[in-house]
A and B are shown apart, each in its own frame.
Chain A
């Protein structure tokens, strides 16, 4: 059973970068069958797709965040990561990692989510 787990700081200061890692177990980030992605959800609000990465390193970003987002993958550690630069309070959210299995875009497995608060 594929499992994903987010890790990283729960508090980030404004203007600093947000960095999160997703560790995958029960599957491989080097699989050609999966895309690996990040989604966020501000408190009390809906879901926003941030971006996805393929095992080859190809990335796909939401244009609304593209200038500040970098998603990378480390197949040797079975992890993929999110970096969001120059954060503001509007970036406060629960951040989920997920995998798109079979159909690109169909998010079949999710991490439990991690709350990141942007505050000084």
Chain B
């Protein structure tokens, strides 16, 4: 299985901050990477696919980059609605695997 490792596990930030979350794959996955946002008690919501393509309706402050084994999710200016947990997921090889999550908290 391909292992996905996110850092940091928890991130404290303020409204307006630029936030970056990193996801590393245990082997090359090309750009077959998705990012999801999950709020408490809710299902995950797809933000980014193919490492850098934004899902329809996702605010432009969310962007993704990377290829191979290293990827980032950037929130350019953190908004109150963005405090949540973020997961990366690879879909190059079965089984699909997720990172352990990064919780973005209010500083």
DSSP class of A's interface residues: helix, strand, loop or mixed? loop
A106 close to B91 (CB less than 8 A): yes
Q: Is A96 an interface residue (CB 8 A)?
A: yes
With CB as the reference atom, state the residue of chain B lying closest to A51: B95
Q: Is B75 an interface residue (CB 8 A)?
A: no
Chain A residues contacting B55 (CB-CB under 8 Å) are 108
B46 close to A47 (CB less than 8 A): no
Chain A residues contacting B89 (CB-CB under 8 Å) are 47, 105, 107
Q: Of the candidates A63, A102, A106, A111, which one forms a contact with B95 in the assembled complex, judged by CB atoms under 8 Å apart?
A: A63
Q: Is B87 an interface residue (CB 8 A)?
A: yes
B1 close to A46 (CB less than 8 A): no
Chain A residues contacting B36 (CB-CB under 8 Å) are 47, 107
Q: Is B64 an interface residue (CB 8 A)?
A: no
Chain A residues contacting B91 (CB-CB under 8 Å) are 100, 103-106
Q: Is A76 an interface residue (CB 8 A)?
A: no
State which size class the interface on A falls in: 20 to 34
B95 close to A103 (CB less than 8 A): no
CA distance A112 to B41 in the complex (A): 9
Q: Is B71 an interface residue (CB 8 A)?
A: no
Residues A27-74 near B (CB distance < 8 A): 46-49, 52, 60-64
B97 to chain A, nearest CB (A): 7
Chain B residues contacting A62 (CB-CB under 8 Å) are 94-95
B8 to chain A, nearest CB (A): 15
CA distance A46 to B45 in the complex (A): 14
Q: Point out residues on A near B: beta carbons under 8 Å.
A: 46-49, 52, 60-64, 96, 98, 100, 102-108, 110-113
Apart from A46-B101, A102-B49, list 18 A-B contacts with CB within 8 A. A46-B99, A47-B98, A48-B98, A49-B98, A52-B96, A60-B95, A61-B95, A63-B1, A96-B43, A96-B44, A104-B91, A105-B91, A106-B50, A106-B91, A107-B34, A107-B44, A108-B46, A110-B45
